[in-house]
Amino acid sequence: MYKIDKINAREILDSRGNPTVEVEIIAKKNGIFGGRKIKAWSSVPSGASTGDFEAVELRDGGERFGGKGVLKAVENIEKKITPEILGMDVLDLQRIEKKMLELDGTENKSNLGANAILAVSMAVTRLGAIAQGQKLYQYIADLAKTPRQDLGVPGPYFNIINGGRHAGNKIAFQEFMISPNLGNFSDDYRAGAEIYHKLKAKIKKELGGAGTLLGDEGGFAPDNFQRAEEALDFIMASIADAGYEGKVDIALDVAASEFFENGKYNLGFKMENDDWKTSDEMVRYYLDLIEKYPIKSIEDPFDQSDFEAFAKIKAEAEKKGVQIVADDLTVTNPERIKKAIENKSANALLLKLNQIGSIGESIEAFKLAKSDGWKVMVSHRSGETTDDFIADFAVGVGAEQIKSGAPARGERVCKYNRLLTIEKNLKS
């Protein structure tokens, strides 16, 4: 049995240059041959278009890092969590998480911070895998009771044009994604990268070099585009240029909460002139886009509290084989997922570990979504680290889909690269 022996926590920077939490946990084998040590590491991501109902990411406030320091979360790991879980068996994730949740004592983890709890939770999961001599995805599959024959690599969604809160340009929608359908991950990954490069060349030629500047998730963020259609036309042309016509689905993350005010949506929220739309006008707009482009997935088409508007578009979209993904609406929270199921508001879940803040609850969220036949898309955050945990998590629980930004930039591709290795392992 490996027992938790030491926890080192520290403040590091994420891909946007903001502080986040990293931990390293060391566990020691007991018994007469005692002394053998194992260690595991983890770091947590951070969102920008954060949902109001997410678990709380504890930030220090004050002057340091513009108030975004995480020294309190680090101190909570060292002074509050560590003394309680020292000596516990690394295979006892459930007990360790329960202890942390009790210690926190709040609904939204605002006491210890979801960033503190999740970092420990992820590192303990990794230690469990090491202790069992398993790959991380196999160990997660055991935790989630995923049948071995269901293990496969999820379909990737590459975010190649960035807008919304993730870019300084004028476009309201946050993410324009491509999902190649070539039958296996490595080919999909290659197609994603090839299309990305064709898109870059096209933007450079037609809009000038400045158009190829990147948004937070590694997609291009040309200032010239004002409407979603312009971005979609460039993407469709790049798919054709790369030779993949008819083999690539389009997905949108509208992140509509970011431009919702007083019951209306302002598509011009980053432009000089406002462009207000009612919910019904937005429904018509989405259906029109679905007609014109091979869109197969729309995430957060409406505000994070509007279960009814979600239900309206879901009913229409479903008939056309288009999935409606709930992100800010459900925030990986079992209670909110239940509400979305009752209201028939979505048929796919965006699953972000740090929205709920522990591995056990993330698995619970996954199962709940599955109980109503939803698809699940495991997701990174716009502020990321080089931790590739979500790749193993997505495979282990048996998620059909994953998004980790563009097929470019280290913090994005480390997840996709890990999936290449897993794909190979699963084949052998």
Give me the residues that bind Zn ion (CB under 5 A), please.
253, 299, 327
Q: Which is nearer to ligand PGA, 70 or 88 (CB)?
A: 70
Eight-state DSSP code of residue 165: G
Q: Which is nearer to ligand PGA, 243 or 410 (CB)?
A: 410
- Smallest CA-to-CA distance from 93 within 316, 385, 363 is with 363
Among 13, 38, 48, 101, binds ligand PGA (CB under 6 A): 48
- Region from 47-55, 83-91, 290-298, 309-317 binding ligand PGA, contact rule CB under 6 A: 47-55
104 near ligand PGA (CB under 6 A)? no
CA 393, 396, 397, 401 torsion: positive or negative?
Answer: positive
Among 15, 43, 50, 404, binds ligand PGA (CB under 6 A): 50
CA angle at 48 for the pair 233 and 373, rounded to the nearest 5°: 70
Site string for ligand PGA, 331-350 (x = CB under 6 A): -------------------x
H/E element holding 425?
Answer: helix 410-427
Q: How far is the CB of 403 from Zn ion (least distance, A)?
A: 9
Residues in the chain: 428
At 223, give phi and psi (nearest 5°). -75, -20
Contact 118, 353 (CB under 8 A): yes
Residue facing ligand PGA at closest CB distance: 47
Q: How far is the CB of 352 from Zn ion (least distance, A)?
A: 8
- For the segment 245-284, give every residue that binds ligand PGA (CB under 6 A): 253, 255
Q: Which is nearer to Zn ion, 93 or 317 (CB)?
A: 317
Q: How far is the CB of 332 from ligand PGA (least distance, A)?
A: 11
118 near ligand PGA (CB under 6 A)? no
Catalytic residue among 54, 217, 299, 411: 217
- Smallest CA-to-CA distance from 202 within 156, 146, 240, 158 is with 240
Size of the site for ligand PGA (CB under 6 A): 11
Max CA pair span of the chain: 74
- Region from 23-31, 240-248, 289-297, 374-382 binding ligand PGA, contact rule CB under 6 A: 374-382
Active site residue 261: no
381 near ligand PGA (CB under 6 A)? yes
* Binding-site partner at residue 195 among Zn ion, ligand PGA, none, CB < 5 to 8 Å by type: none
d(CA 70, CA 59): 5
User: Which residues touch 415 (CB under 8 Å, ≥6 apart)?
Assistant: 380, 388, 390, 391, 402, 404
CA distance readout (Å), 214 to 189, 222, 232, 259, 264: 19, 8, 17, 21, 29
Tokens for 148, please give them. Answer: 């071995």
Catalytic residue among 312, 352, 375, 415: 352
At 245, give phi and psi (nearest 5°). -55, 135
327 near ligand PGA (CB under 6 A)? yes
Eight-state DSSP code of residue 213: -
Active site residue 217: yes
Catalytic residue positions, numbered: 217, 352
Residues that bind ligand PGA (CB under 6 A): 47-50, 253, 255, 327, 350, 379, 381-382
